[in-house]
Chains A and B, each alone.
Chain A
Amino acid sequence: MAVVVMMIVSIICFVLSNVAYDPAVGIAGAQATDEDVALIRQTYGFDRPLPSRFIDYLGNLAQGDLGVSYLSKRPVLDMILERLPVTAMLAFFSMTLALAIALPIGCAAALWPNTIIDRLSQFLAVAGQAIPNFWAGLLLIVLFGVQLRWLPISGSDTYAHFVLPAITLGTYAMPPLMRLIRAGMIDVLGSDYIRTARAMGIQPLKLTFKYALKNAVLPVISLSAVQLGFMLGGSIVVESIFALNGIGYLAWQSMSRSDMPVIQAIVLMISMIYIVLTLLADLLNAYMDPRLRSARK
Chain B
Amino acid sequence: MIQDLFSVTVLIGILASGIRLATPYLYAAIGETFSQRSGVLNLGVEGQMLLGAFAAFYVSLRTGNLWLGLLTAMLVGAVMGLAMAYVTVNLQAQQGISGIGFYLFGLGMSDLLFQKLMPTVETIRGFPRIYIPGLSDIPGIGEIFFSQNILVYSAYLLVPVAWFVLNKTTLGLKIRAVGENPDAADSLGVSVARVRYFTIILGGTLSGIAGASLSIALLNVFQQNMTSGAGFIAVALVYFGAWRPIGVLGGALLFSMVNALQLWVQVLNIPIEPEIAVMMPYVLTILVLVATVSRVRAPSALTKPFEREN
Q: Please say whether chains A and B are actual partners in one complex.
A: no
